[in-house]
A and B are shown apart, each in its own frame.
Chain A
Amino acid sequence: MSQSNPTAASQSLSERIFGAAGSNRRSIIIAYFFVLVLIAVGGALAPGFVAPQSLLQQLVLASILGVLCIGQMIVILTGNIDLSVAWTMNLCSVIVTSVTRGENQRVTEAIALSLLVGAGIGLFNGLGVAYLRLPSMVMTLGVNAMLQGVTLVVTGAQPKGNAPEVVRWLIVGRIGPIPVSVFLWAILSIITIFILSRTVFGRSLYAGGNNQIAAYLSGLRMQRNLVLAFVICGLCNALGGILLCGYGGQSYLSMGVPYQLPAIAAVVVGGTSILGGSGSYVGVIAGSIILVLLQNVLSLARVKYAGQLIIYGLAILFMLFIYGRQAADRD
């Protein structure tokens, strides 16, 4: 893949977590550098922006995107993509609000059901991609449309009910000084980094993304791993939907749509190759924060929505040019 490619066994722990020395580590440093730049710009525009409370609020927003990125990154590592983020989130949020009807009584069942549905959607995607070998982009696109239909039919296009207190607490609550969702994100991040760097499953995702045939011939169970990757992604999308439900206090139609493309963009801005096989979640954390900060700094600078879209696109292209270019094919 890259210039130096040490075998998995000879990599040190830090290399496994941050990626092999060289391009990967460079992209992480650049990504965190841009986080600092954006905070500095925000602080220059409005001194209140750099107050701890304000920054924690940014992290709460980033945590929703960050949770989605866990699943999206794992799928992208395998060389696939999940385009069913938007309506998986929406359906799972609708499940929470309609099962609980804003009361705390059945919140455990509601969240469990919601996560189960998310995992089921991921399983369906994964089976199609792994066993029927359907292109993931088309498969998840079709599933997304079906989920949109299901959500509309289930709710009659008018979702009812509010988020129960427990779900609201995920966003507004605090554990010590830290918002619950940020705490949750931190725990999930550690688990993700552990899985990706220390488990056979995690390493086989990288192996498969780099060279599917070599991974298969090495005896890795690639189809099972691919299904598992999509199931994890479905779970993360469901959790993202639950968090968004807590953030908005209710479910509404198309609530997940603004998260589909940022989820992919954050993974790529965080230094993960869209072609699969390389990247680290440490970078993706920065990617999620960058996208959230960028949006808020632009609003702070009173850039119109139209301008925000343009700068958003330019920023992604800019990051790509810094570290996303493919080597010239000179075979």
Chain B
Amino acid sequence: MKPESAPKKKLNVARYFRPLLAYIVLILLILVYRALSPVVFRLPVITAMLNQGMALAITSMAQTLVILTAGIDLSIGSIVTLSNCVAATQMQPGIAPTLGVVLLVLLVGSACGFLNGLLVAYGRLAPIIVTLATSSIFNGLALYVLPNPGGFVPEWYSEALTGRIFDIVPTALLILIFLFVFIWTPLKRSPLGQSIYAVGSSESSARMSGLNVQRTKLLTYTIAGTLSSMAALFLAAQTASGDATQGGVYTLNSIAATVIGGTSFTGGVGGFGGTLAGAYVFAIIPNVLFAARVSPFMKELLQGAILVLTISLGAARVFQVKNRLEIMK
């Protein structure tokens, strides 16, 4: 019995080590925050914290999907920007028109993702440089749509997304649960989700197993685009306006959150579970610094240091490998 179960358990520890590390860092940060500022566990503060990390959490889910296929999406921030600008310029006070605009925004994001997917999968171009180019295009379009920050977002819309339901449950929490239970989990278990993992771990094996690699990539980038526009819709509610410069940070922060959450940069390993922790680690840092009365200039320094440190911890196995060929790609 024992020899059989032992290796299985070891595998699981290895599999969950990196996401676990992200959750440990997150809990440590929250504990530090609690020690510095006693109000942390009050409802309004929890709501505010959940809201603060929401757009990053959603974009990081998009980035996680793309990185799982061994790709990268450097246009996520620009899709957020473009979608945000479309939302802020088109929204009307009424409920029905606003819902129409929500659909329109989701369509814009999906179209952007679809374009990325077409270029990567069928154009056979390297994802990093394709999305670099398209991010410039989407940014330009955003500036056409909304040259100056402003626009209009109905108050009820902002309150509905960033407030609390019955004054108890933060909407953001429900959105996170919805993302995890109704989007991520079914997607991961679907044939598409399994092909995403298969393509990421070995593209040629996936192809030889009869999977449609190109279609998988196309759909992955499209879903990433849709998710990015969902993040933009939340951002519009949060800031109650549009700004053609505010989405840019999500490109690089979503990569950082994904990697901190334990998704392998070479594809095929990881998931949204860890990414979620990574996103909130990144989002909470400014609050902790503020509570500690540390200069806000330390924010980037600390974010960068946490990123480098967590990936370095994950790299410890390099020193255990005897045959160097094993760790080469």
Q: Interface of A with B (CB < 8 Å)? A: 81, 83, 128, 131-135, 137-139, 141-150, 152-153, 156-157, 212-213, 216-217, 261, 264-265, 268, 274-275, 304-314, 316-317, 320-321, 324-329, 331
Contact = CB atoms under 8 A, between A and B. Distances in A.
Contact of A145 (B295, B301, B311, B325): B301
| 10 closest residue pairs by CB, A with B | A149-B301, A145-B304, A309-B140, A313-B136, A306-B143, A146-B304, A310-B140, A152-B297, A313-B137, A142-B307
Contact of B128 (A81, A152, A212): A81
Interface in B265-281: 265-266
B270 to A, nearest CB: 13
Contacts of B318: 131-133
Contact of B132 (A132, A142, A261): A261
A217 B323 CA distance: 12
B304 A142 contact: yes
A326 B141 contact: no
The secondary-structure label for the interface of chain A is helix
Contacts of A327: 124
A273 B305 CA distance: 31
Contacts of B259: 135, 138
A142 B329 CA distance: 22
A135 B312 contact: no
A152 B140 CA distance: 29
Contacts of A325: 123-125
Interface stretch (B15-23, B182-190, B200-208, B230-238): B200-208
Contacts of A264: 129, 132
Contacts of B147: 306
Contacts of A274: 126, 128-129
B327 A142 contact: no
28 contacts: A133-B327, A138-B307, A145-B252, A145-B307, A152-B297, A152-B301, A153-B295, A213-B328, A217-B325, A265-B129, A275-B126, A306-B141, A306-B147, A307-B140, A307-B144, A309-B136, A310-B136, A310-B141, A312-B140, A313-B136, A313-B137, A314-B137, A316-B132, A325-B124, A326-B124, A326-B125, A329-B204, A329-B207
A267 to B, nearest CB: 10
A252 B137 CA distance: 27
Nearest to A138: B259
Contacts of B325: 213, 216-217
A147 B304 CA distance: 8
B136 A139 contact: no
A104 B72 CA distance: 45
A141 B307 contact: yes
A164 B53 CA distance: 44
Contacts of B208: 331
Given A132-B318, A268-B129, A274-B128, A145 B135 contact: no
Contacts of B141: 306, 310
Nearest to A316: B133
B139 interface: yes
B265 A139 contact: no
B95 interface: no
Given A138-B307, A309-B140, A324-B125, A150 B255 contact: no
A150 B302 CA distance: 10
B328 to A, nearest CB: 5
Contact of B123 (A83, A141, A321): A321
Given A137-B265, A153-B301, 17 more contacts: A137-B128, A144-B304, A145-B301, A149-B302, A153-B298, A157-B297, A304-B143, A305-B140, A306-B140, A307-B140, A309-B140, A310-B136, A310-B140, A316-B129, A324-B126, A327-B124, A329-B203
Contact of B144 (A143, A306, A326): A306
B318 to A, nearest CB: 5
B98 interface: no
B204 A141 contact: no
A136 to B, nearest CB: 9
Nearest to B248: A257
A143 B304 contact: yes
Nearest to B137: A313
Contacts of A311: 140
Q: Which of B133, B139, B312 has the most CB of A within 10 A?
A: B133
A153 B134 CA distance: 34
B248 to A, nearest CB: 10
A309 B303 CA distance: 29
B119 interface: yes
B8 interface: no
Contact of B130 (A148, A213, A320): A320
